[in-house]
Amino acid sequence: MDRRQSSIRSLDWITIALFLFFIAFGWISIFASSLGDEPSMTIGLDTRAGKQLLWIGASVVLALVVLITDSKFFEAFAYPIYAAILLLLVAVLLVGVEVKGATSWIAIGSFRLQPAEFMKFATALALAKVLSRFNFSFNRLKDLALAFFITFFPSVLILLQNDTGSALVYASLVLVMYRQGLSGIFLTAAILAVLYFILSLIYSQSLVLIMILALAVIGILAQRKYKVLLGIGITAASTTGILLLLNVFGFYKPDLKIILSIVIILSALYLFFRALVDKSRTYTLAGLFLIISIGYTLSTNYVFEKVLEDHQRTRIEVLLGIKSDPSGAGYNVKQSRIAIGSGGFTGKGFLNGTYTKFKYVPEQSTDFIFCTVGEEWGFMGTFTVIALFSFFLIRLIFLAERQRSMFSKIYGYGVFSIFLFHFIINIGMTIGLAPVIGIPLPFFSYGGSSLWGFTILLFIFLKLDSNRMQILA
């Protein structure tokens, strides 16, 4: 009995208070966004507000179940939990129900369950289990591959469900691996991949290839390997000269992209040769950087045209300013920004949102719930939500850092990373700073699966934190 009371006292009630505030404010926003121009205070189970109220009650029950569960259960059964929900993702591909183009739900009577929302906490648990092993090291290829497999295999299954937004969430867990010692080269590679993709769409692939070659040259200069740089220069100059000479004799028509591609490939081969001669890992990495970069860059157009759906391409083009589509893909964002702006400093007041009443913003109770906050509560309301959510994220870092168990600390950073991704992308979507990819705002957006998934994700960590003094592993 004393131990249970001690565990209750050790709960982080600040975070729990924030959780209760978020779900309460979220429900108020859903209630407002689901009403018509003649609001009725009647809340039935046939309304979104009524259903959300039922799901909030269930989420509180789930939170209590997690809190009365032994903390060691989550570490001991991390892999079985991961495997079980992974099987649900596979089941979705076989018997899933399609909603708005994505086959992400399993129908249980009139209720639809989205396993991808529960896969987030399962993946965070499994990743924490792997990274907290005594002999784990990112320097071993086997360990590195296992960590990436556990993180991104669910993402692949979710992509097959045509739910790109949920699939991208798992990329946030790279921050956890980076915190635990993953080389910064992976984060650099991820940033460069995004940069290559964007530049290839806005400008030309030739410009990106020039940038790739320039980055390699800068890297070698930083290492003060002037002989290697001279070798690359000779390779580039001689290759270009030969291709231009072939053009003079009519054997080849100049194409800047092809010339640059050949120069980069030969430069990479030269670096591999120097790596063998000098036994230098730096040259090997530089060569791999050139080969992977050119392959990725030349494939961006194919991926953009053949892999992405039409609506996804349009959203990216509108976001990057390549095209304007105010009545199509840009409509949601445009209306959302107008709704938020119309709220002014203090807002129009609860249930007085014009855009909310007349449904000018599609999906305003799910992906665009933040615009309801902006219209009815104004700058003060949006500032309060952003400030409290930022404090919530900082609190998660504080809790993670005070853990004595490595498993709990890593899991805590996983919780932080997932919430951070959702927070930034969702609000970025509503104000036009991020593509519209269907990312809910935690505890605010309408939906049972997402609310339950986020609740379990958070309260597992709060349970681990409450027993931080007893768990010394």
- Please write the tens of the pLDDT for every residue from 383-435: 999 999 999 999 999 999 999 999 999 999 999 999 999 999 999 888 877 77
Contact 430, 366 (CB under 8 A): no
Q: How confident is the model at residue 472 (pLDDT cuts 50, 70, 90)?
A: very low
Percentages of the chain per state (helix, strand, coil), in multiples of 5: 70, 5, 25
Residue 64: per-residue pLDDT: 95
User: What's the rounded Cα separation, in Å, for the pair 103 and 162?
Assistant: 7
What percentage of the chain carries pLDDT values higher than 70?
Answer: 86
Does the pLDDT of residue 38 top 50, yes or no?
no
Q: Which of 35-44, 60-69, 400-409 has the lowest mean pLDDT?
A: 35-44
Across the chain, what does the average pLDDT equal?
Answer: 82
Classified as helix, coil or strand, 51 is helix
280 vs 56, more confident: 56
Residue 1: per-residue pLDDT: 46
CA dist 140 → 135, 147, 149, 288 (Å): 10, 11, 14, 19
Mean per-residue pLDDT, 327-339? 70
Residue 309 CB-density burial (10 A; 0-12 exposed, 13-18 middle, 19+ buried): exposed
Residue 36: per-residue pLDDT: 56
